[in-house]
């Protein structure tokens, strides 16, 4: 006579940071059950993740990370002027925008006054190649590029741009302006050596490819009630890993539903009781994520299943 297999019902578990003991820390919180969960200490259980929800609210630039300050000075080599970047998820274009806004507010910009005759003179010189040195030729090209703008356009003497083909950031200086990255760690995001100060008209290419995400490539989710899961050779309490994908932008909600269920062994106590679960979100280097407060809550929904 065949032995009838026992079918145990799954136990649904919903964990939300806003209902935890420390709701202001949605990336590292302790969730306390109103009633202790009682499992059979002789049984074997697994955790199955159904849905993970969080907010794309972490920053790559902030005062706390000491990478929110850039300085520049004008051609008169006067005092350095600070550009304080906001705590936010910024790309290279955003950083360039904030630098330009500061320059405009400080009156450190030029106004284009080229006319058609001047432009034609520049074009003729370039076409005829009147024994120009490489430096003179480059300066002529920059002047011509500026002159293409409509007469009266604002001219910025500092530009920070990404080169998507190479992955490097390029800084273009003109009119003897200088740019200083030495007052914070912003240079590390942009790929320049720590403490870099740029001077000299022309293009300055970063020393390394940009690290604009500040090293955050993968987000790991960990639950204290599981064990024997692995990430990059490390045994831990990992239940899921993910990264933002196309269409997910800063300040948007991220929802993940694993396509295939993963069964992760539950960490059993001697009496089989569970009263608390510790939840952690880290990056791939196990650095604590910062989702920036209780308004950016995280939620994990899953099941505990008995398999033996």
Q: How does pLDDT run across 13-45, given as a tens digit for each residue?
A: 999 999 999 999 999 999 999 999 999 999 999
Of 148, 180, 205, the last residue of a domain is 205
Is 292 found in the same domain as 229? yes
Number of domain units in the chain: 2
Handedness of CA 279, 47, 240, 298 (dihedral sign): negative
Same domain for 76 and 201?
yes
The CA distance from 70 to 181, in Å, is 5
Q: Is residue 151 part of a domain?
A: no
Strand order in the sheet with 238-242: 28-38, 273-283, 219-223, 238-242
Among 61-65, 167-171, 182-186, 257-261, the range scoring the smallest mean pLDDT is 257-261
Q: What does each C-alpha distance from 69 to 13, 79, 84, 206, 290 come to in angstroms?
A: 44, 15, 5, 18, 20
Report the distance separating Cα 73 and Cα 174, nearest Å: 12
CA distances from 79 to 66, 99, 106, 121 (A): 22, 16, 12, 36
Which pairing describes strands 110-111 and 168-173: parallel, antiparallel, or unpaired?
Answer: unpaired
Which CATH number belongs to the domain containing residue 249 in this structure? 2.60.120.1100
Burial class of 307 by CB neighbour count within 10 A (0 to 12, 13 to 18, 19+)? exposed
Residue 5 resides in a domain: no
Do 197 and 222 fall into the same domain?
no
pLDDT of 200 over the 70 cut: yes
What pLDDT is recorded for position 143?
A: 66
- Looking at the fold, whether 21 and 103 belong to one and the same domain comes out as no
Residues 80 and 193 in one domain: yes
Range of the domain at 31: 11-58+216-306
What pLDDT, on a 0 to 100 scale, did the predictor assign at position 115? 56
Q: How far apart are CA 257 and CA 51, in angstroms?
A: 5
Query: What is the DSSP secondary structure assignment for residue 19, as one 8-state letter?
Result: G
Residue 141 lies in a domain: no
Q: Say yes or no: 95 and 192 in one domain.
A: yes
Residue at which a domain ends, from 143, 177, 205: 205
CA quadruple 25, 29, 30, 34: dihedral sign = positive
Instruction: Specify the pLDDT at position 113.
Output: 58
Query: What kind and span of H or E run contains 234?
Result: strand 234-236
Predicted confidence band at 133 (pLDDT cuts at 50, 70, 90)?
confident
- Cα 122 to Cα 261: distance, rounded to the nearest angstrom: 66
pLDDT of residue 129: 65
Kindly report the average pLDDT of the chain as a whole number: 89
Q: How confident is the model at residue 180 (pLDDT cuts 50, 70, 90)?
A: very high
43 located within any domain: yes
CB 39 within 8 A of CB 304: yes
- What is the percentage of the chain residues whose pLDDT exceeds 70? 87
Pair 87, 176 in one domain: yes
Domain boundary among 205, 228, 245: 205
Domain annotation covers residue 286: yes
Can you tell me the distance from the alpha carbon of 214 to that of 59, in angstroms, rounded to the nearest whole number?
9
Q: Residue 250's pLDDT is what?
A: 84
Q: In this structure, is residue 175 part of a structural domain?
A: yes
| Reported confidence tier of residue 138, pLDDT bands at 50, 70, 90 | confident
Residue 94 and residue 197 share a domain: yes
Same-domain check for residues 81 and 195: yes
How high is the pLDDT of residue 1?
A: 45
How many angstroms separate the Cα of 110 from the Cα of each of 167, 177, 201, 204? 30, 12, 15, 21
Q: Is residue 246 part of a domain?
A: yes
CB atoms within 10 A of CB 265: 15
Are 250 and 88 in contact by the 8 Å Cβ rule? The answer is yes
Model confidence band, residue 246 (pLDDT cutoffs 50, 70, 90): confident
Verify that 78 and 200 share a domain, yes or no.
Answer: yes
Are residues 87 and 179 both part of a single domain?
A: yes
Query: Is there a domain that residue 134 lies in?
Result: no
Q: Residues 93-131: pLDDT tens digits?
A: 999 999 999 999 999 998 765 555 666 666 666 666 666
Task: Kindly state whether residues 173 and 232 are assigned to the same domain.
Answer: no
């Amino acid at each position: 006579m065949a032995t009838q297999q026992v079918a145990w019902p799954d136990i649904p578990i919903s964990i939300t940071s806003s209902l935890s003991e420390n709701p202001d820390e949605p990336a590292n919180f302790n969730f306390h059950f109103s009633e202790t969960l009682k499992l059979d200490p002789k049984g074997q259980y697994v955790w199955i993740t159904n849905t993970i929800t969080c907010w794309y609210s972490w920053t790559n630039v902030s005062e706390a990370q000491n990478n929110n300050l850039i300085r520049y000075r004008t051609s008169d080599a006067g005092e350095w002027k600070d550009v304080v970047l906001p705590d936010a998820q910024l790309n290279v274009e955003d950083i360039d925008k904030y630098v330009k806004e500061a320059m405009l507010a400080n009156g450190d910009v030029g106004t284009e006054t080229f006319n058609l005759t001047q432009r034609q003179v520049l074009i003729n010189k370039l076409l005829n190649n009147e024994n120009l040195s490489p430096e003179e030729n480059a300066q002529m090209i920059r002047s011509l590029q500026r002159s293409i703008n409509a007469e009266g356009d604002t001219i910025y003497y500092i530009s920070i741009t990404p080169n998507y083909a190479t992955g490097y950031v390029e800084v273009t200086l003109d009119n003897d302006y200088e740019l200083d990255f030495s007052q914070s760690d912003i240079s590390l995001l942009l790929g320049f050596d720590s403490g870099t100060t740029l001077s000299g008209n022309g293009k300055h290419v970063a020393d390394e490819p940009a690290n604009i995400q500040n090293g955050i490539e993968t987000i790991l989710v960990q639950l204290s009630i599981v064990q024997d899961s692995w990430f990059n050779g490390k045994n831990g309490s990992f239940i899921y890993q993910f990264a933002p994908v196309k269409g997910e932008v800063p300040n948007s909600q991220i929802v993940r539903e694993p396509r295939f269920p993963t069964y992760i062994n539950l960490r059993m106590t001697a009496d089989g009781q569970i009263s608390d679960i510790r939840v952690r979100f880290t990056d791939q280097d196990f650095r604590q994520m910062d989702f920036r407060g209780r308004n950016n809550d995280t939620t994990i929904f899953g099941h505990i299943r008995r398999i033996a």
